Structure 1
Amino acid sequence: MAAVVLVHGLYHRPEHFAVLAERLRTTGTEVVVPELHRGSLPADTAAVQAAVDVLAEPPIVLGHSYGGSVITGVHGAGHLVYLAAFMPDAGESAASLGGASLQLQDAIIPEPDGSTTLHPDRAIDTLYGDCPEHLAAQAVGLLRAQAPGCGRGVPEHHSWKHTPSTYVVCAQDRAIDPGLQRKMASRCTDVREWRTGHSPFVGQPDLIVELLLELLATRTTPRGNEGVTTIR
């Protein structure tokens, strides 16, 4: 059975991918959504690696935002998808690549125990500003506290150097600068650009379903960036 592993970003939970996962499952695709928040990038990567290792065939592994740093360190994927995600090279971390936008930084609230949370109203505008109001409210309600330091983690392995990969630039993103996304996208074998905000799995999940089914059907991607596609 064709399989997809969905990897969420900071502050998020597997439940943020619930609609996307269900729509993929209706197509006969096996979907696994590991829980991160293990306290460090190596621990988060190990959790995703464990999910990949039990699958019968190499899956498509999609990482959103910080999840891109996580999937970079995973072995055994058949294809990597970076969705508005950090894509580190040797010695790089999400933070050193540029990290969160100033708008996202302004939404972060330090907590007494060293963790951080996001201001709900600012999170809606930054993460889900292009989503229907009721869906954005649901997504903000699922956000959780984030342990410190994950964004400064440096992957020990760089799977995109030997695994086919697709980068999806979210051109209206307010959390990770689209210009930075385009620079990282040049490392991928395939690039798409969508006119969405940071979280299309909330507002436009069918875009992601369509992409993943396309990749599952072909299991190959063209070399170079001549295949850039813009969704208007």
Structure 2
Amino acid sequence: MAAVVLVHGLYHRPEHFALVAEPLRTAGTEVVVPELHKGSLSADTAAVQAVIDALPEPPIVLGHSYGGSVITGLRGAGHLVYLAAFVPDVGESAATLGGASPQLQDAINPEPDGSTSLYPDRAAGTLYGDCPEPLAAWAVGLLRAQASGCGRGIPERHSWKHAPSTYIVCTQDRAIDPVLQQKMAWRCTYVREWQTGHSPFVGQPDLIVELLQELLAANTPRRPDEGVTTAR
């Protein structure tokens, strides 16, 4: 069975995916959640690529938010899942595609060292507004500072042109405009819409677990032919 690789977004940590990873592991699936925050998009992509290269077969790779830019630059994924995520094309970055919503921008707190963090109260409403309050508080408590510039990084390759992909539009998202998500979703092979906010891995993790188990059962992951482009 293929493994699952979960790629978090800006300000987040691998622990944010705990409610998704643990049920999958209990069911016998190998789940890897790499730590990003390496300082640049290229460094973050390299960290995830090292994980994929160490696996025996092409994994299902899910990228959330900025994590979409990361998984776009990968080789060797069997199926890509973009969860309210950026899907850059040639010369594009998350920032040039539209970037953070005004509400998320208002939550950003510049730090003296040039990094940024999020104001906890604003982060709760923006990232986890549809989540139960205890879970939202837990998720906010895990957030960490972020080096500047990652969102302006441009992927060196575009994996969604070579591997099957699924885009999940989160229609109640306050961090990335759902209209922007719908536009980016046209680049993917399959599209689904969920009535969730930006972070269903906190508020409705069962949705993600069920999707990933469906993809695993369908046996879609396989080493793609790099010369073949998948049409939506």
TM-score tier by shorter-chain length is over 0.9
Could you tell me which residue of structure 1 aligns to residue 52 of structure 2? 52
Q: 1:219 deviation in Å?
A: 3.2
TM-score by length of 1: 0.95
Q: 1:224 deviation in Å?
A: 6.4
User: Aligned pair 1:90/2:55, yes or no?
Assistant: no
Moved >2 Å (runs of 4+): none
How large is the RMSD of aligned CA atoms in angstroms?
1.1
Q: Any unmatched runs of 5+ in structure 2? A: 222-229
Could you tell me which residue of structure 2 aligns to residue 31 of structure 1? 31
User: Aligned pair 1:13/2:13, yes or no?
Assistant: yes
Could you tell me which residue of structure 2 aligns to residue 113 of structure 1? 113
Q: 1:140 deviation in Å?
A: 0.1
Where does 1:98-177 land on structure 2 (aligned, <5 Å)?
A: 98-177=98-177
SS in 2 for 1:167: strand
Deviation digits for residues 95-119 of structure 1, max 9, x if unmatched? Answer: 0000000000000000000000000
SS in 2 for 1:2: coil
Q: 1:187 deviation in Å?
A: 0.4
Q: Distance in 1 between matches of 2:28 and 2:192?
A: 25
Letter in 2 for 1:17: F
Q: Is the 8 A contact 2:78 2:220 kept in 1?
A: no
TM-score by length of 2: 0.95
Where does 1:212-231 land on structure 2 (aligned, <5 Å)?
A: 212-220=212-220
Higher relative contact order (CA 8 A, sep 6+): 2
Deviation digits for residues 1-41 of structure 1, max 9, x if unmatched? Answer: 32000000000000001111001111111000000000000
Q: Distance in 2 between matches of 1:53 and 1:162?
A: 17
Q: Distance in 1 between matches of 2:199 and 2:142?
A: 14
Q: Distance in 2 between matches of 1:19 and 1:160?
A: 26
Q: Any unmatched runs of 5+ in structure 1? A: 226-232
Q: 1:220 deviation in Å?
A: 3.6
Aligned residues: 224
Q: Distance in 2 between matches of 1:165 and 1:117?
A: 31
